Structure 1
């Protein structure tokens, strides 16, 4: 299983526009410089009044499809 580390800083308004269907995917740059695209809906559990901010580990299966996400401490 592959994993990618990303640092995200997304305002609540920006995330809401993604979640309402204006965009279905988030594109971010991983810590190792790779570009990664993943479904915006996987971030929903991490939304606060300020938006989404922090470091996350995203895991993908052998088929390169999303498997899991967790916030890093």
Structure 2
């Protein structure tokens, strides 16, 4: 399994305005400088009135297929 750590700070209004479509993606930069593109829908469980903010860990399999996204 692969683990990627990153921080994210998207306001509620920005998330709704830009990422509400089914095909929208969020581009993040990991702590190691790797750029990853994830479906915005993966962040919906973490959406609050403040938006999506905090530290996250993305876990993928050996083929970089999504396993889970965790808030740290």
Aligned residues: 72
* TM value normalised by structure 1: 0.87
Off by >3 Å, runs of 4+ in structure 1: none
Distance in 2, matches of 1:44 and 1:9, equals 13
1:21 counterpart SS class: coil
Cα RMSD after superposing both structures:
1.5
Change (3 A) 1:54 1:14: same
* TM value normalised by structure 2: 0.88
- Indicate yes or no: 2:13 matched with 1:13: yes
Uncovered stretches (5+) of structure 2, i.e. residues with no partner = none
Name 1:27's counterpart in structure 2. Answer: 27
